[in-house]
């Protein structure tokens, strides 16, 4: 990283100011939180949100949960989250995948996930 970037970091009082220094405008986000019950039938846990900048999904239940960007997620197709595991994506690393819906299914009934999304807020 060049000296200019270090100056941005040294002169910023907080993350919002750093983003203003880097991009010329603020990026203000607000949290959207929900708990979603997941059973043995696929369900959407995150809807299509164009302004999403980050997403964290944690398996808070006692059964395995499988996640996929496709509605036909199954216990043989998707990211497996064992109890306590987390799935994370953000705008910097995952690009427009972050805007897409995510679907979940459990390998048993009584599962649940906690979803935290960061979404852009008008300034």
Inter-residue contact 46 to 98 (CB < 8 Å)? no
Q: Which residues pair with 70 in a beta bridge?
A: none
What is the architecture, at CATH level 2, of domain 28-121? Sandwich (2.60)
pTM for the full predicted model: 0.81
- pLDDT class of 9 with cuts at 50, 70, 90: low
Query: Three-class SS of residue 38?
Result: strand
pLDDT the model gives residue 31: 92
Which of the two residues, 31 and 6, has the higher pLDDT score? 31
Residue 86 has pLDDT above 60, yes or no: yes
Per residue in 10-66, pLDDT (tens digit) is 676 776 777 777 777 777 788 999 999 999 999 999 888 878 889 999 999 999 999
Residues in the chain: 123
Mean pLDDT, rounded, of the chain: 87
Residue 2 has pLDDT above 60, yes or no: no
Tokens matching residue 54: 């980050």
Cβ neighbours of 63 (radius 10 Å)? 18
């Amino acid at each position: 990283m060049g000296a200019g970037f270090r100056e941005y970091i040294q002169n910023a009082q907080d993350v919002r100011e750093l983003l203003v220094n880097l991009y010329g405008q603020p990026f203000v986000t607000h949290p959207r939180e929900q708990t979603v019950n997941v059973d043995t039938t696929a369900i959407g846990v995150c809807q299509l949100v164009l302004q999403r900048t980050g997403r964290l999904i944690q398996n808070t239940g006692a059964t395995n949960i499988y996640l996929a960007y496709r509605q036909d997620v199954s216990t043989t197709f998707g990211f497996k989250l064992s109890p306590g595991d987390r799935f994370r994506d953000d705008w910097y690393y995952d690009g427009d995948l972050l805007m897409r819906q995510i679907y979940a299914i459990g390998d048993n009934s009584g599962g649940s996930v906690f979803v935290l999304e960061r979404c852009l807020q008008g300034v």
